[in-house]
Structure 1
Amino acid sequence: MSTEGDLLHTVTADTITDTRRRVGRAMVWGAGMLFCVMAAMQFMYDTDRSIVGFETWRPVLFAYLLWATALCAAQVIVNGEKGKRTLFVLPAALFVISLVVFPLLFALYVSFTDWNLASLNGPQPNGWDNMRQMWGDAFYWNALKNMVYYVAAVSVEYVIAFGLALLLNAQIRARKFFRVVFLLPLMLSPVAVSWMVGKSMLEVRFGPVSRLVRELGFEPSFFGTPEMARFMIMAMDAWTFIPFMMIMLLAGLQALPREVIEASKVDGATGWQSFKEVIFPLMLPVSVTAIVIRIIFKLKLADIIINVTSGGPGGATDSVTSFIFREYRDRSNVGYGTLLAMVYLVLIVLFITALLKLVSRWMERPA
């Protein structure tokens, strides 16, 4: 007995009438209009532009869920069997929208309000006042300048991580032991590192490192000057995350084709020539991935700064994230802090996009 084709995975065409299509589209448009009307009405109510509204945004959430359900159901009603395939992706997309897009829209609204948690009035729209305050905020621009130093330090971290990866990829004694030891800093949270190193070991009066420096006849001042404090923050952050880059580069080294490396040795290439002409070019994709991911982590640097220096001395170690955190915690200025965060988000998106384009063009250039 023979069969033609795989009937189990064959999708037959559905007979979908025009009335069925109109019903499905009417469901989506009706639920969508209801959601938009309720959202607009609630926004007008919260901004004191209308007296019609709800106490909370919960009814608007229910309207969104109704629209999402109608949209999913309409896929099957309008497209039949093909619409069922969409249901594997559409609910997840709608869930992402509810967790990402709506909070971003709310944050955008808060960015143009005067909202201090110490006030009983709640968020009060203040136009472009927060933007004008940001342009004149020297501490915020200083934090942005510090981020240039912090991001530039990734290049030094990459060199160290690559050297360690080459070392751990070589045939040395106790190689597995050293791999575990070098990964230990990555197992610690930055908060733990900041307290163990910055607050304990490097403490000016009783820290063991400070006492050793004092015994040698020097006066310890790890966080006394802007340059030294910034360097110590970079060092602690690098000690925590260099193993992350190292393990990625080590995985790339172990995946390299051994035949090519052995062929370069047969041709008489020295160790440096083999690295420069063979290993490093083959490692470029892994290197770019490790550097970009590390830069993304670096742009979120905050916890070590908050716990060790609180941005001092004089804002010399502040990152943008730590400065925004203090704007929330110390000044309870939600509106202004949210504006700073939104501007920083836009800058990050532009910077990462430009960086990826430059890297893509550089890697596609002819050899």
Structure 2
Amino acid sequence: MTDIPFGISVGRYRTGQAIVWAAFFLMLVALAVQILHVTGRLGFGFDTWRPVLYAYAIWGVALSAGQVIMRGDDGWRALFILPAALFTVAVVLFPTVFAIAAAFTDWNLSSAAPPRFNGLDNFRRMMSDPYFWNALFNMGFYLLAVVVQYALAFGLALLLNAEIRARKFFRVAFLLPFMLSPVAVSWMIGKSMMDFRTGPISDLMRLLGWSEPSFFTSPWIARISVATLDAWVWIPFSVILLLAGLQAIPRDLREASKIDGASGWQNFWEITFPLMMPVSITALLVRIIFQLKLADIVINTTYGGPGGATDTISSFIFREYRDRANVGYGTMMAMFYLVCIVIFLLLFLKFAEKLTHRTQGDA
């Protein structure tokens, strides 16, 4: 038998257990009835999943009350965390389980047929889909562009941290692109200023010798154009983080290195860069996470074209949902991409940890 907390009677403890387990059993019954009804194995059930949600809410209230009844003051303290945990389960775990189930179905919203379990058919289709692999290749290109963005952001942060004239003005000016929505940027610059016929950027390219400045018709030029628009939006974000890190470095360290005869380049590589490694890793990690979700600029400027050359996984999944209404196949790609993201980020964090120890150890 579980140890009963001090000051709690056996009857009170068992009452709390009974309340929690009764509500949990009610939720399981509602869930089982609805699953059997949806799959056609039960003739009666609920019209929607809402009763299951109500049963989950009842179980959440019963679990919270049971904690107070069974644990006393410790139960009251648990209430500071338990509602948030239950809400997280409701908005994260349940949709994820539903998405995993949908990934193994033949489910098309444009068809009158109900969802049908099709095993690994969606996975096999994804593995042989050249457009999916093309989108995955494009994601690799856009992730490499993050490294270039980081280098540019670091240079701008060093410039804005230096004693230059009108430094406050430049700090505000460099942050202006980050205040705009990527959708607004894609229309304002991608659709207007980079327009082949009337765009001012296209006119400037003609003056510089590019006779037909079309930014979104050639595959590689289109990829670079999308990466440039994305960089224009997000480099200021990295500049903010890196500038904050630079300002946290004591000036005494750099002044001491100058007294020892270190050049500006040596000062950067031996003092500034190693001390900035934790901030740099954070900036890169956040940018990679946002980059892995890149879709809005692609959808609004090229819609994945020409011929899927600029597609990202997110934009390709969006088109699979919207244009083809293929829920099963689109969800399979989303789940596979989620697994790839988790593995990639874990490897990145492992590499970043080793790199941080190495650089700070050398420093």
TM-score for the superposition, normalised by structure 1 = 0.94
Question: Aligned in 2, Cα 1:186/1:120: closer, same or farther, shift over 3 Å?
Answer: same
- Aligned partner of 1:300 in structure 2 is 293
Matched, 1:249 2:242: yes
- Aligned partner of 2:111 in structure 1 is 119
Point out the more displaced range, 216-225 or 255-264.
216-225
Q: Per-residue CA shift, 1:46-66, capped at 9, x if unaligned?
A: 011211311111111111111
One-letter amino acid of the structure 2 residue matched with residue 308 of structure 1 = T
Structure 2: gaps (5+ residues):
none
Q: Per-residue CA shift, 1:177-220, capped at 9, x if unaligned?
A: 00111001101111111111111111112212223333455221
Matched, 1:137 2:115: no
- Aligned partner of 2:142 in structure 1 is 150
- The CA distance in 1 between the partners of 2:294 and 2:99, in whole Å, is 21
- Aligned partner of 1:310 in structure 2 is 303
Q: Per-residue CA shift, 1:81-120, capped at 9, x if unaligned?
A: 1111101100110011111111111111211222222122
Q: Aligned match of 2:195 in 186, 200, 203?
A: 203
Q: Secondary structure at the match of 1:221?
A: coil
- Aligned partner of 1:279 in structure 2 is 272
- Aligned partner of 2:179 in structure 1 is 187
- Aligned partner of 2:336 in structure 1 is 343
Matched, 1:324 2:310: no
One-letter amino acid of the structure 1 residue matched with residue 327 of structure 2 = V
Offset at residue 354 of structure 1 (A)? 1.4
- The CA distance in 1 between the partners of 2:307 and 2:236, in whole Å, is 31
Q: Per-residue CA shift, 1:273-293, capped at 9, x if unaligned?
A: 111111111111100100010
Offset at residue 14 of structure 1 (A)? 5.0
- Aligned partner of 1:36 in structure 2 is 28
One-letter amino acid of the structure 2 residue matched with residue 323 of structure 1 = F
Offset at residue 258 of structure 1 (A)? 1.3
One-letter amino acid of the structure 1 residue matched with residue 61 of structure 2 = T
One-letter amino acid of the structure 2 residue matched with residue 297 of structure 1 = F
**CA-atom RMSD in angstroms:** 1.3
Matched, 1:61 2:53: yes
- The CA distance in 2 between the partners of 1:171 and 1:362, in whole Å, is 30
Point out the more displaced range, 106-115 or 256-265.
106-115
Matched, 1:269 2:262: yes
- The CA distance in 1 between the partners of 2:303 and 2:40, in whole Å, is 39
- Aligned partner of 1:98 in structure 2 is 90
One-letter amino acid of the structure 2 residue matched with residue 64 of structure 1 = Y
Matched, 1:49 2:41: yes
Identity of aligned residues (%): 59
Offset at residue 266 of structure 1 (A)? 1.1
- The CA distance in 1 between the partners of 2:168 and 2:29, in whole Å, is 63
TM-score for the superposition, normalised by structure 2 = 0.95
One-letter amino acid of the structure 1 residue matched with residue 102 of structure 2 = V
- The CA distance in 1 between the partners of 2:146 and 2:276, in whole Å, is 17
Q: Per-residue CA shift, 1:260-283, capped at 9, x if unaligned?
A: 111111111111111111111111
- Aligned partner of 1:9 in structure 2 is none
Conserved in 2, the CA contact under 8 Å of 1:14 and 1:80?
no
Conserved in 2, the CA contact under 8 Å of 1:226 and 1:316?
yes
- The CA distance in 2 between the partners of 1:20 and 1:216, in whole Å, is 84
One-letter amino acid of the structure 2 residue matched with residue 339 of structure 1 = M
Counterparts of 1:168-179 in structure 2, within 5 Å, are: 168-179=160-171
Q: Secondary structure at the match of 2:48?
A: coil
Offset at residue 35 of structure 1 (A)? 0.8
Offset at residue 33 of structure 1 (A)? 1.7
